[in-house]
Chain A
Amino acid sequence: MTDRLRRIEDLYHAALAQPSRARAAFIAGACADDEDLRREVESLVAQATGGGTAFETVLADAMDAVAARVSPGDRLGPYTIVEFIGQGGMGEVYRARDPRLQRDVAIKVLRATDADPDRQRRLLAEARAAGALNHPNILVVYDVGVHQGSPFVVAELLVGETLRQRLARGEVSAASAVDLATQIAQGCEVAHAKGIVHRDLKPENLFVTSDHRIKILDFGLARRTPVEPGAVSLETMTATSIGATGVSDAGAHAAMETRAGQVLGTAGYMAPEQVRGERADHRSDIFALGAVLYEMITGRRAFARSSSVEAMQAVLTDEPPDPSSMDAAVPAELAAIAKRCREKRPDDRFQSVSEVRAALEACRGVRSWDARSPGDLASQDLTPRTTPRTRWPAAAVVAALVGSLGVTGWLMRDRIVAGGAGAPIKALAVLPLTSVSKDAEEYLADGLTDALIADLARLEGVRVISRTSSMTYKGTGLPLKRIAEDLNVDAVVEGSFVREANRIRITAQLIDAKTDRSLWSNTYERDFRDILTMQGDIARAIADEVRVAVTPQVRAHLAVARPVNPAAQELYLRGRYFLGKGLEADIRRAIADFTEASTAEPNYAAPYAGLADAYTALRSIYLSPHDVMPKARSAALKALELDPELADAHVSMGGVFMYYDFDWARAEAEFRRAIDLSPNHAVAHDYYALYLASLGRFDDARREAARARELDPLSLMILVDTGFVHYLARDYTQTIAMNQRAIDLDRNFWPAHRDLGLGFERVGRFSDAVASLEKARGIETNSSVLEMLGGAYAAWGKTADAHRVLDELTGMAGRRYVCPYEVATVHAGMHDVTSTLAWLEKGFNERADCMPWTFADPKLDALHGHPQFQALLKRMGLPQK
């Protein structure tokens, strides 16, 4: 640093240290005889105190520049960008390589302003409309997708120019005009037959390839009109290039009659009925074709005016000059066809493009004005008559692309051809979302992950791994491939989020686990209150990507705007987080959070379901059923009242019916409803498995348990529950295997040690059983551990030890709730029928939550002949042997 600069800097800081009023005087004094120095310091101090360019803004703008383009080498789905071709109305067009089919394609990346999910949805709808069209005169669209928030359209790469560019070089010969018009009519014929009207035919949307084939572009404005009564109307209207072509006022005028934001065509080509904002039908396209034909044969626009408003007025009232009068070379028949197409009243025009085509063919037959064959016409006459024949422009490789379209069928075929690259996704896992902010709340990350899993779980036809298994990978940094193998899935969803005050931004991507290739990626940013809607959007996008059928109900559920009070959502997520931890204090904290959430947003169902689950969780561990289950019930009921489709709440409700009411029919209905609503809900399958086993329906129970485990392979609780299902089914080897697996995953998971002991006891490995149970007791002295321990000693014949455990168990009952059933089975082990029955009666009266096992529990097998036991089963509504 120079001394001069150091001097400036010192004075700068010294000046800023002065009170603002005194600064000018200070600087003047300090720089007494150095005018330059004074100006330097003053100007710098002025910057420090004044406003000015914020670096952040400069950077943010620069970020746009980074993001606004893709560069050669970038991958969009399977496509690799080769080069930038040009700027289109809605985005940039690139040449890209499709490695699967070894061909070049054109990709138009729509601007990020179009990244709004609604627009993207419409785009996909348009893609479907256009996907129905497969004709040599209509641009083939291979694929649509979303790349880093920007939708893109993949289409065939064409060589040639637009008709507009062609006309700029001079008019077209009559013979060529006939040929081109015929091709346009042929393309339209196919579209019209499918009920799709183009609505914006014009030279800009008509592409002439180097082999003189017409390709109709931009069915982005296409709207499917009913071809038969009751046909579905597909709304695919979007605002596109109208502003760019200078007719936004006209568009606005016309749009008043229809839906806001719709664009209706281009002034000078759109039919009078479109100008008036009336319904456009296929005859509107015939009008436009007439205008285009006129322009081809005369080299002038039919309704050229200085402004779009005037052009629209002209369409309504004026007739363009008769071509025959302008150029003797224009055959009268052709002029007449163009004129009839352009009749003001649709009823006066040709009534179908087929009629236009027939008229053109007839015109071709007259041929007095041109003796050459159509082939010759095509190859020679496209060059202007007025200028010497020229070569195609050097850069005539043009991506004829429009802001729309996509052919799902095509894509599917592509994928099949591509083989492994496009193997269908049958199962996926959502990895825990990570926060980009340094100190984001863990519960938010977990909660968002949970919610995304819950939304995806509703999809049928794809297995979605449940939360416990996904959460296992939090922060492990394991390779995706490894995780995918562990969980037996084809793809994983990975994401990160940033929260800034009331905004939240989530970036999610779907990755093919085999190839590690990103199949889909998108960024969503919304108000925190719209977080649920955003999750629905993500889930739907993924569903579309993996091509699972989404039932209308599920689609509706995901699509519905679900605004939520941010505070309530946050409390809810935090509650879920604590509930997941599972200790009593955590559960109580979860209850507090859920309660507060439901106060903040009384109409939000989720916190009530959380509350129901929290009370249910307290039930078996700490509190008497009468204290908690009615609360669980009312919470679940409230949740279902607010959202009858909330699977969680149906599971909770089923739990209340099963474990508290012993109302088997209603319990089953709830579990099945939950599974209907959310086929991937692992806990629903788990609960249902236990339910089925308790009624002795073991085959069904094993099936449901297997499904639960498939969906949540790393869930310890599901492993233990599955082991218990096998225990009830008397398949003790499986009980041992399941619990051993759970212990392999987590050596401190005491329920697994407990049930491993149970399994050992059943197969006569008594000392192993006791060792395992003592291990469980070392981790958590739970009444159920004592129950099993007492049972093991009893079975082993160590009656004194069994009694000691029994005393411990009854002693515990004084301090916290002990399920009488647990005491009963120890007595049963010691063949004390009277005590067993007495404790079972007590359990029934208390509505103890172990009572559902009464029928199937092998430990009670000896009682089935006893009338009192049979009476109990009957009262409970359980089957009898």
Chain B
Amino acid sequence: MPQTGITERLLAWRHGDEQALVELMPLVYDELRRLARRHLRRERPGHTLQATALAHEAYLRLVDANRVEWRDRLHFFAIASRIMRRVLVDAARAKAADKRGGGAEHVTLVDVPVGDPDEGLEVIALDTALEALAAADPRKARVVELRVFGGLTVQETASVLKVSTDTVGRDWSFAKSWLKRALKK
């Protein structure tokens, strides 16, 4: 059931209304976070696609597909990819803060460590590495953002960035290697 206002803002933004984007971001942020929680499964199989599946689901829920062109759809994913990155990094940061004792002054009923405390924190490293990559080559960082966090295909990414699919392919390959190396350091 598309939410009112989102489609309008998406269209307005495409027509140059920057304020519309400002209003759009928190709506999409909330929706993505909500969907992410709802879909939490700890079972590993079938788990890996979630971030991108979520962007798609958010799109279906938020945007009235009958009223937008396919380019608007891509624009939505372009926004969603950035927001998804923020959702994940924010959550990981919050978790890291807890680990440092954010909740330690509270008296807890049963003091039991739960799960792997480091789980989920790698995304912070990925985020930092992406920042560094963006400093050296913004387009490559954007390619990663669109593909990893937004689930866009090479063609869709090319269309959003207005470059050829070959360029996206090369950027993607190089950026992946670059990030993998950065994460191993």
Contacts and interface: CB of A to CB of B under 8 A. Distances in A.
A84 B136 CA distance: 40
Contacts of B176: 47-48, 55
A140 B160 CA distance: 56
Interface in A40-88: 43-45, 47-48, 52-71, 84-88
A479 B1 contact: yes
Contacts of B121: 61, 65
Given A52-B184, A59-B51, A62-B88, A204 B109 contact: yes
A5 B139 CA distance: 13
A398 B178 contact: no
Given A436-B60, A496-B57, A507 B39 contact: yes
Given A44-B178, A66-B91, A67-B37, A53 B183 contact: yes
B41 A149 contact: yes
Given A44-B177, A496-B57, A61 B108 contact: no
A65 B50 contact: no
B23 interface: no
A43 B173 contact: no
A521 B119 contact: no
Contact of A434 (B60, B109, B114, B179): B60
A241 to B, nearest CB: 6
Interface string B1-17: 11000000000000000
Interface residues of B, number: 65
Nearest to B182: A47
A58 B122 CA distance: 6
Contact of A204 (B87, B110, B136, B181): B110
B126 A401 contact: no
B109 A400 contact: yes
Contact of A503 (B46, B89, B115): B46
A88 B106 CA distance: 11
A45 B42 CA distance: 34
Interface in B92-123: 92, 94-95, 103, 105-115, 119-123
Interface string B35-53: 0111111111111111101
A9 B113 CA distance: 45
Nearest to B50: A63
B170 interface: yes
B37 A61 contact: no
Nearest to B56: A436
B21 interface: no
Nearest to A106: B109
B180 interface: yes
A396 B120 contact: no
A521 B60 contact: no
Q: Residue among B43, B94, B109 with the most chain A CB within 10 A? A: B109
B69 to A, nearest CB: 16
The DSSP consensus for interface residues of chain A is: mixed
Nearest to B90: A66
A471 to B, nearest CB: 16
B42 A112 contact: yes
A436 B57 contact: yes
Contacts of A437: 53, 56
A67 B43 contact: no
B112 A56 contact: no
B72 interface: no
B33 interface: yes
A436 B53 contact: yes
Contacts of A112: 40-42
B136 A89 contact: no
Given A45-B177, A53-B122, A111 B115 contact: yes
A477 interface: yes
Interface residues of A, number: 84
A149 B38 contact: yes
Interface string A209-228: 00000000100000000000
B25 interface: no
Contacts of A87: 103, 108, 111-114
Contacts of B39: 63, 67, 148-149, 505, 507, 523
B33 to A, nearest CB: 6
Contact of B123 (A43, A62, A402, A478): A62
Contact of A9 (B66, B94, B111, B174): B174
A62 B56 contact: no
A1 B137 contact: yes
B183 A399 contact: no
Contacts of B40: 63-64, 66-68, 112, 115, 148-150, 523
A615 interface: no
A109 to B, nearest CB: 10
Interface in A433-489: 434, 436-438, 477-480
B148 interface: yes
A16 interface: yes
A325 interface: no
Contacts of B106: 84-86, 395, 398
Given A1-B137, A63-B88, A89 B110 contact: yes
Contacts of B41: 112, 115, 149, 505, 523, 525
A113 interface: yes
A662 B53 CA distance: 54
Given A5-B137, A59-B123, A401 B109 contact: yes
Contact of A68 (B47, B95, B103, B105): B95
B173 A16 contact: yes
Nearest to A147: B37
A500 interface: yes
Contacts of B92: 62, 65
A11 B46 CA distance: 37
Contacts of B49: 56, 500
Q: Residue among B39, B46, B87, B94 with the most chain A CB within 10 A? A: B39
A66 B136 contact: no
A501 B42 CA distance: 18
Interface string A1-22: 1100100010011001000000
A84 B64 CA distance: 36
A438 B126 contact: no
Interface in A487-534: 494, 496, 498, 500-501, 503, 505, 507, 521, 523, 525
A122 B176 CA distance: 46
Given A55-B176, A393-B107, A438-B56, 16 more contacts: A1-B137, A13-B174, A47-B178, A59-B88, A61-B121, A62-B122, A65-B121, A68-B120, A70-B37, A88-B110, A436-B56, A477-B2, A478-B1, A496-B60, A500-B49, A503-B46
Shortest 10 CB-CB distances between A and B: which pairs? A86-B108, A67-B40, A65-B120, A62-B123, A89-B110, A47-B177, A56-B48, A244-B112, A66-B91, A62-B88
20 contacts: A2-B136, A16-B173, A47-B176, A58-B183, A62-B123, A63-B120, A64-B119, A66-B36, A68-B115, A88-B108, A88-B112, A93-B109, A112-B40, A148-B37, A244-B110, A244-B112, A395-B106, A479-B1, A480-B1, A503-B46
